[in-house]
Amino acid sequence: MPIKNDLLLRTLAGEKTERTPVWLMRQAGRILPDYRKVRNSLSGFKELVETPALAAEVTIQPVDILEVDAAIIFSDILVIPEAMGLPYEMVEKRGPHFPSTVRSGADLDRLHVAEADGVQYTLDAIRETKKALDGRVPLIGFAGAPWTIFAYMVEGGGSKTFSKPRGMLYENPQLAHRLLQMITDSTINYLKGQVEAGADLVQVFDSWAGVLGPRTYEEFSVPYLRQICDALTDVPVTLFAKDAFFARKSLAELDCRTIGLDWCMDPVASREIVGPDKVLQGNLDPAVLYGTEEIIREETRKMLDAFGPVKHIANLGHGVYPDIDPEKVKIFIDEVKSYSSASR
C-alpha cells in the first residue's frame, strides 16, 4: 500500500523534502484525554497493550488529534521479557515491576528465546493499525535495546542507578552476555515479525544507555545493537540511546539509518561526530512544552536551524511528559511544519 504522507520515508531516504517531518516519542498516551478514556475503561495498561483493536485505536489517536507525520504502535518494551518467560506488572502510578528477576544461571535456564508470535497481540495490533491507517502515515514499530531490557530483567523494575544489572557485568560477565544474547535473538525475531506485520520502520530504545560508561557500553550494548541492525535489512532502523553522548561515534558506525538525540546532545556537534550520512532525530527538551506559546515556537525554530533542512526528523529529546497540555504539543508540531516549509 502506498503511503500518502511519506515525508518521513523520503527524509529517511536522504531526500530534501518540502518540510521537516515530525512525531513525538510517547505520543500515544496519557497526554490525550481520548487515551485516558480508553485506558480508564480497562483493568489496566496490560489489557490495553494486549487488546489489538484498542491498541490500534490509541495508536491512531495522535495522528487524528495532533496531526503527526507517523504513528508508533502502542505497546511496551517490556513485552519481550514476558515473552521470554519473565512476566511484568505495570503498577499504577509507580511503573513496571518484575515479580521474579534474573540473578543466576538457574534463573536464566528458566527463560527461552522468544519467537515473534510470543507477542502475537502486538503483531495483530500492527495489522489492524495498518488497515485502519489506510496509508495515511507510516507506522513505526519498536523494541527496547538489549541492554535496557537486561537492566529491567536483572533489577526487577525501574531504578536510578540500575546497580544490580551493572554489578552483574563485573560479578558474572559470562552470564550477562548469555542473557544479552537471548534478549537480542528474541528482539530480532520480534522486530522481524513487526516488519512482516506491516511496520514501515523500527526504533530501538536504549533508554538506560546512560547508566553505562563508554567502555561498558562498547562491550555490553553496542555489539547487540549491531546484530539487530545487521538482521533488519528490509526497513530503516533508528537507534535512540538516551544519555549515551559518548557512544554517538560507535552508533554511527552501525548499519542503522537514523540516530535519535536527546536534548543534552548538541545537533551541530552531533552531526560532526556522526558524519553526513545518517538521519538525525530529535531533540527539543520535553520541558520546553511547559513554556508559553512564544517560547515553544522560538525554541523549536532554534532546533530546526541547528539541524538544517535535510536528514532531520523533528521530535522531542525523550518522551512527552504525561502532564503536558496537548495544545502545547500542537504548537510544537505547528511550528515545525510552518517554519520548516517557509525556510525551504
Site residues (CB under 6 A) for ligand CP3?
25-30, 39, 45, 72, 74, 76-78, 90, 95-96, 142, 158, 205, 207, 242, 319
Please, what is the angle between helix 326-342 and helix 293-307, to 10°? Answer: 40
Residue 220: C-alpha distances to residues 208, 223, 319 (Å):
12, 7, 24
- Closest residue by beta carbon to ligand CP3: 207
CA distance 167 to 302: 41
Nearer residue to ligand CP3 within complex by CB, 29 or 52: 29
Q: Under 8 Å CB-to-CB from 56, ≥6 apart: which residues?
A: 74, 125, 128, 129, 132
Shortest distance (Å) from residue 114 CB to ligand CP3: 17
Shortest distance (Å) from residue 239 CB to ligand CP3: 13
Shortest distance (Å) from residue 171 CB to ligand CP3: 24
Shortest distance (Å) from residue 96 CB to ligand CP3: 5
Shortest distance (Å) from residue 23 CB to ligand CP3: 9
Q: What stretches of the chain show up as alpha helix (H) in DSSP?
A: 7-12, 33-40, 45-49, 52-65, 79-84, 105-109, 120-133, 146-155, 163-171, 173-197, 214-220, 222-231, 248-252, 267-274, 293-307, 326-342
Q: Under 8 Å CB-to-CB from 337, ≥6 apart: which residues?
A: 19, 20, 22
The three cell numbers locating residue 247: 557512544
Shortest distance (Å) from residue 304 CB to ligand CP3: 22
Shortest distance (Å) from residue 155 CB to ligand CP3: 11
Nearer residue to ligand CP3 within complex by CB, 45 or 246: 45
Pairing mode of beta strands 237-241, 71-72: unpaired
Residues paired with residue 313 on neighbouring β-strands, in sequence order: 281
Nearer residue to ligand CP3 within complex by CB, 28 or 313: 28
Q: Which residues are designated catalytic?
A: 26, 30, 39, 76, 152
> Residue 339, CB half-sphere, CA atoms under 13 Å: how many?
20
Nearer residue to ligand CP3 within complex by CB, 194 or 339: 194
Residue by residue, what is the 3-state secondary structure of 4-36? CCCHHHHHHCCCCCCCCCECCCCCCCCCCHHHH
The three cell numbers locating residue 233: 535489512
Nearer residue to ligand CP3 within complex by CB, 278 or 318: 318
- Contact present, 101 and 154 (Cβ < 8 Å): yes
Please, what is the angle between helix 120-133 and helix 173-197, to 10°? Answer: 30
Nearer residue to ligand CP3 within complex by CB, 50 or 76: 76
Nearer residue to ligand CP3 within complex by CB, 140 or 331: 140
CA distance 266 to 344: 22
